[in-house]
Amino acid sequence: MAEGRPARLHSTATYVCTAWGPVSPPVDRRSDRPIYRQIADELRRQIRSGELPPGAKLPTENELIERYGAARLTTRQAVELLKAEGLVDAVRGRGVFVRRQPPIVRLGSERFSRWRRQANQAGFFADTAAAGTRPEIEVHVSRRAASPELAERMGLPRRSQVLVRERRYLADGIPMQLATSYVPLDVVEAAPGIGKPNSGPGGIYMRMEEAGHPIVRFVERITTRMPTQEEAASLQLGAGTPVLQVQRTTYGEADKVIEIADMVRAGDRYELAYDIPGD
Amino acid sequence: MAEGRPARLHSTATYVCTAWGPVSPPVDRRSDRPIYRQIADELRRQIRSGELPPGAKLPTENELIERYGAARLTTRQAVELLKAEGLVDAVRGRGVFVRRQPPIVRLGSERFSRWRRQANQAGFFADTAAAGTRPEIEVHVSRRAASPELAERMGLPRRSQVLVRERRYLADGIPMQLATSYVPLDVVEAAPGIGKPNSGPGGIYMRMEEAGHPIVRFVERITTRMPTQEEAASLQLGAGTPVLQVQRTTYGEADKVIEIADMVRAGDRYELAYDIPGD
DNA sequence: AAGTGGTCTAGACCACGAG
DNA sequence: TCGTGGTCTAGACCACTTC
């Protein structure tokens, strides 16, 4: 395309300004900064400044090629950079678009209060109710021998059997988090509801407290990292979207570990809040 | 290179096995999965399995080209994918290496206890002492008018002046976090040490409590995202490394906000832990 | 000097979406 | 059908590291 014609600035522009030079800042080919980074810098600036608001369409590859006089791969490298930064999404056949920020769910530590559990205001259903979204939970329950690491974390003898609850949580059909919980079998025997896919109103914490395993405290450990390929697919994460990894330990009386929960949450859809006493 | 010769598997391999087919799983050119993804899959598998342990050198581009019979750009795309996932680092002139995991600093909420403050065991110096590393803090102090958003967060009238403390924290010369704190001027007047770059033993929280502004509670809000270019440079983050963004609000008596701290922490160097009471 | 990864060009064919 | 982005090839020159 455009063979034999002089490079133009915008495929839809009038010719008036083409005689005066580029409208978009041209690349400086003598600069140490690679051309693809210069192009990315300019697009990034336009996104940050709001010239290209969320949902806006970036120039097509052919437009970038004409605008900056670069090869196709060079313009693609620029867009790849923005994709890795989580700023844009490419859709084959349509174009490249500035990413829209999804609504953020705020999880406060107050949602662990006993009052909430007893009022059936705890857990994912309450989280979605607060956000006005439709909850959906995929559950798989099994029993298996704990790995040495897991047994260590739970204070159990090696190779102890544990109940395993694997879940995927969705709000309005959008995957929010993956979670795997492990519960010692003596706790499950005291509160059989825990072993069912649907653990009933108030969730497994309510079942535990009904069965004489009051919850004394939780500890949550938080890290972040890029998702594995499997996590990115299961959570439908865009490129350049990290995950929050939350590892929760639930303690009953006498510091007994009554649950371990390993969670992987979509990093662009959650905000976690914690209260810390001043003394 | 290798013009006119049939593609071989390893540049250093004997010819014995080449008659039998590739040693590394070959790419399936009829598969729907792009070749560069197939190459990345194989390298990722070797990294996860420990065949390529942290610090190990990946095959060079020329080796990958011969091994998989692909073009140079195709093998580069595979390595680019692994870089974006944070699994490897490329060093010009040397090669591509499996990334080593840096030591992780665990921050527990107990470090906010009054006991720690009074024993001078609070803050970044105590964090590094626990980790056995040498602390370094770059501080810039200024005063400026609060933005409307900041005034809102602090419960101050619009355009109020606030003290601004901007810091960069390093441990053994490695950048760990960027932080900006805002303190209302009446608190600074009561506790002038807060306005000095070195706020003295126990830090600004100790100064506040000495000056009759006891700390009642903290709230920390946590999100994750990819760093900006500036943050990635300042924190010396490798490709594919997200950040933890922590926004802390410090409350004094009568729910007065006595400090706001916005922190950006290297996502691969921190683990945050919080205690949550069971009631 | 040789080998490594970084950048760039000029083509090609394909799958997908919209008109 | 046409324009879009996705994949792939076969070259080229460069900067940097190692020997």
Task: Report pLDDT digits (tens) over B171-187.
Answer: 999 999 999 999 999 99
**Does the pLDDT of residue A226 top 50, yes or no?**
yes
Look up the protein residue whose alpha carbon has the minimum distance to the C1' of D17.
B93
Q: What is the residue-wise DSSP string for A158-194?
A: TT-EEEEEEEEEEETTEEEEEEEEEEEHHHHHH-GGG
With tokens 């051309």, the residue in question is A35
Interatomic CA distance for residues B14 and B26, integer angstroms: 18
Strands (E), chain B: 88-91, 95-98, 105-108, 135-145, 161-171, 174-184, 217-225, 243-251, 257-266, 270-277
Q: Kindly report each contact of residues A115-124 with a partner whose C-beta sits within 8 Å and lies 24 or more positions away, as own/partner.
A: A117/A202, A117/A203, A117/A205, A117/A206, A117/A209, A118/A202, A118/A206, A120/A201, A120/A202, A120/A206, A122/A202, A122/A203, A122/A205, A122/A206, A123/A202, A123/A203, A123/A205, A124/A169
**CA distances from residue B268 to A50, A168, A242, B183, B191 in whole angstroms, order as listed:** 30, 25, 12, 29, 35
Of B73, B222, B242, the CB nearest to A225: B242
User: Å between B228 CA and D4 C1'?
Assistant: 29
Interatomic CA distance for residues A66 and B177, integer angstroms: 41
User: Å between B26 CA and C12 C1'?
Assistant: 24
Looking across all nucleic acid strands, the nucleotide with the smallest C1' to CA distance from residue A35 is C7
Geometric angle at alpha carbon B57, from A230 and A78, rounded to 5°:
60
Output the pLDDT for position B55. 96
Q: Which residue has the higher pLDDT, A192 or A15?
A: A192
pLDDT band at B219 (very low <50, low <70, confident <90, very high): very high
Q: Mean pLDDT across the stretch A30-40?
A: 93
Output the pLDDT for position B19. 34
pLDDT band at A1 (very low <50, low <70, confident <90, very high): very low
User: Å between B45 CA and D9 C1'?
Assistant: 27
Output the pLDDT for position B200. 85
Residues of A within 8 A of B226 (CB-CB) are 84-86, 240-242
How many other CB atoms are there within 10 angstroms of residue A71's CB atom? 12
pLDDT band at A261 (very low <50, low <70, confident <90, very high): very high
User: Å between A139 CA and D17 C1'?
Assistant: 53
Q: Is B274 on the interface with A (CB under 8 A)?
A: yes
Output the pLDDT for position B247. 98
Interatomic CA distance for residues A246 and B99, integer angstroms: 23
How many other CB atoms are there within 10 angstroms of residue B158's CB atom? 11
Are B108 and B127 spatial neighbours (Cβ–Cβ below 8 Å)?
A: no
Task: Report pLDDT digits (tens) over B139-173.
Answer: 999 999 999 999 999 999 999 999 999 999 999 99
Looking across all nucleic acid strands, the nucleotide with the smallest C1' to CA distance from residue B31 is D7
Cβ < 7 Å from nucleic strand C: A 34-37, 69-74, 77, 91-94; B 58, 60-63, 72-73, 76, 79, 90-96
Average pLDDT of chain B is 89
Q: Mean pLDDT across the stretch A210-229?
A: 96
The two three-digit tokens of residue B48, written as one number: 């996860």
Are A205 and A178 spatial neighbours (Cβ–Cβ below 8 Å)?
A: no
3-state secondary structure of B17: helix
Considering only alpha carbons, which residue of chain A is nearest residue B83? A84
Q: Is B231 on the interface with A (CB under 8 A)?
A: no
Q: Is B200 on the interface with A (CB under 8 A)?
A: no
Geometric angle at alpha carbon B229, from B225 and B232, rounded to 5°:
70
**Strand C nucleotides within a 7 Å radius of protein CB atoms:** 3-12, 15-18
Q: Is A240 on the interface with B (CB under 8 A)?
A: yes
Output the pLDDT for position B22. 42
Task: Report pLDDT digits (tens) over B101-144.
Answer: 999 999 999 889 888 888 877 689 888 988 899 999 999 999 99
Task: Report pLDDT digits (tens) over A71-92.
Answer: 999 999 999 999 999 999 999 9
With tokens 């859809």, the residue in question is A269
Of B80, B240, B276, the CB nearest to A220: B276
Q: Is A112 on the interface with B (CB under 8 A)?
A: yes
Considering only alpha carbons, which residue of chain B is nearest residue A81? B84
**Does the pLDDT of residue B64 top 90, yes or no?**
yes
Q: Is B238 on the interface with A (CB under 8 A)?
A: no
Q: Mean pLDDT across the stretch B45-51?
A: 96
Output the pLDDT for position A17. 33
Q: Is B119 on the interface with A (CB under 8 A)?
A: no
Looking across all nucleic acid strands, the nucleotide with the smallest C1' to CA distance from residue B91 is C5
Task: Report pLDDT digits (tens) over A130-176.
Answer: 889 999 999 999 999 999 999 999 999 999 999 999 999 999 999 99
**Three-state secondary structure readout of B168-207:** EEEECCEEEEEEEEEEEHHHHHHCHHHHCCCCCCCHHHHH
Output the pLDDT for position B139. 96
Interatomic CA distance for residues A84 and A240, integer angstroms: 4
Residues of A within 8 A of B113 (CB-CB) are 279
Q: Mean pLDDT across the stretch A110-117?
A: 86
pLDDT band at B67 (very low <50, low <70, confident <90, very high): very high
Looking across all nucleic acid strands, the nucleotide with the smallest C1' to CA distance from residue B79 is C5
Task: Report pLDDT digits (tens) over B86-106.
Answer: 999 999 999 999 999 999 999
Considering only alpha carbons, which residue of chain B is nearest residue A277? B217
**Does the pLDDT of residue B14 top 90, yes or no?**
no
Q: Mean pLDDT across the stretch A216-225?
A: 97
Q: Is B277 on the interface with A (CB under 8 A)?
A: yes
Interatomic CA distance for residues A86 and A238, integer angstroms: 7
Output the pLDDT for position B21. 38
**Does the pLDDT of residue B11 top 60, yes or no?**
no
Nearest one of B25, B21, B47 to B35, comparing CA atoms: B25
Output the pLDDT for position B25. 67
Q: Mean pLDDT across the stretch A99-125?
A: 88
**Does the pLDDT of residue A6 top 60, yes or no?**
no
Of B220, B272, B276, the CB nearest to A217: B276
Geometric angle at alpha carbon B68, from B67 and B71, rounded to 5°:
115
Output the pLDDT for position A18. 35
Model confidence, pTM? 0.88
Please give the DSSP secondary-structure letter assigned to residue A141. E
**Cross-chain residue pair B226–A84, CB shorter than 8 Å:** yes
